[in-house]
Amino acid sequence: MSVEAHTRVVKSIAADLGFSFCGISKAVFLEDEAPKLEAWLNKGYAGKMEYLERNFDKRLDPRLLVPGAKSIVSLMYNYYPPPDKHPVAGFKVAKYAYGEDYHFVVRDLLHDFMNRLREKVGNVDGRVFVDSAPVMERAWAAKSGLGWIGKNSLLLNKERGSFFFLAELILDLELDPDGAVKDYCGTCTACMDACPTEAIPAPYVVDGSKCISYFTIELKEAIPGDVKGKFQDWVFGCDICQDVCPWNRFAKPHNESRFNPPAELVNMTREDWLDLSREVFTRVFDRSPLLRPGFEGVKRNIQFVS
């Protein structure tokens, strides 16, 4: 098969598996990203997330992750919830965490993708990634034309906004690359203006150490008192900069049943959250992203915003 035929196969499989967008880029060293990443780390924007400082070279060169890599396949999987699947009261949880942990859901799809690809084109060496290794997924997605990196540092898509999970296949298969798209943020600063902790100090720069998602998920110690009263009831993650983004008016509900929240979460009141027991937490958030901070972490967050 030709490179063009291989490319058509990849795009076809992506569509069949329910990925909203699929873009391709050549597996090369991310030369433009190297100084940006170094500067971001040097400013302390990673906070206590020491893992972001490790594997610096691998983050920038996919060929160190997959020897002989030729192509990066970037994929977007929608998680924007249907109108009737939003929790209606109580404290706030980021939309991506309403249902089953996306690592499980998307990884299953990626393994299926690789199996189908090998059936169609023969032996292909590669690895699949869904926020699981030092891969600069937003940079690769932008490079492959899935969208542009917005002022809140998230990937924005002109047709569907930003409520997507990103995933990658790094392959030793040569494919036709797609081109990048232009930046459509313009003069808008909605995300910057809306952030209650001022975690976006400049356009296209996010101070991770000030982000509500960082405080409620990544930070293992006590939340600093100087951000008390600024979380607007968010106890896991935060969607503020996405909710105010004009491009998300084009978001469409997902079709992934595994992302739907359990009825108990949808109906949880503020009192239910305040009285949350370990037994209820384990039942409601089985296989949920909320298992990352765990029961103790979520209780800490609830107490902090109460």
pLDDT of residue 171: 97
| Cα gap 61→34, rounded to integer Å | 10
Retrieve residue 211's tokens.
């982000």
pLDDT score for 111: 97
Q: In what order do the strands lie in the sheet with 126-129?
A: 21-26, 71-78, 164-171, 126-129
Angle CA(284)–CA(48)–CA(142) in degrees, nearest 5? 80
- Burial, 294: exposed, middle or buried (Cβ in 10 Å; 0-12, 13-18, 19+)? middle
pLDDT of amino acid 89: 81
pLDDT of 134: 87
Q: Token digits for 246?
A: 């004009």
pLDDT score, position 211: 98
The pLDDT assigned to 88 comes to 77
Q: Which of 112, 131, 183, 272 is catalytic?
A: 131
Q: Which two tokens stand for residue 285?
A: 């958030």
92 vs 233: CA distance, rounded Å: 6
Distance CA 248, CA 241 (A): 10
Residue 125 annotated among the catalytic residues of the structure? no
Parse the chain into domains and list their residue ranges. Answer: 3-85+94-171, 190-249+260-305
CB 95 within 8 A of CB 171: no
Q: What's the pLDDT at 52?
A: 86
3-state secondary structure 214-260: HHHHHCCCCCCHHHCCCCCCEEECCCHHHHCCHHHHHCCCCCCHHHC
Place of tokens 């490319």: 7
- pLDDT tens for the chain, 306 residues long, are 899 999 999 999 999 999 999 999 999 999 999 999 999 999 999 999 988 888 889 999 999 999 999 999 999 999 999 998 888 788 999 999 999 999 999 999 999 999 999 999 999 999 999 987 889 999 999 999 999 999 999 999 999 999 999 999 999 999 999 999 999 999 999 999 999 999 999 999 999 999 999 999 999 999 999 999 999 999 999 999 999 999 999 999 999 999 999 999 999 999 999 999 999 999 999 999 999 999 999 999 999 999
| CATH topology assigned to domain 3-85+94-171 | NADH Oxidase (3.40.109)
Q: Whole-model pTM?
A: 0.94
Contacts (Cβ under 8 Å, ≥6 apart) of 210: 197, 198, 199, 227
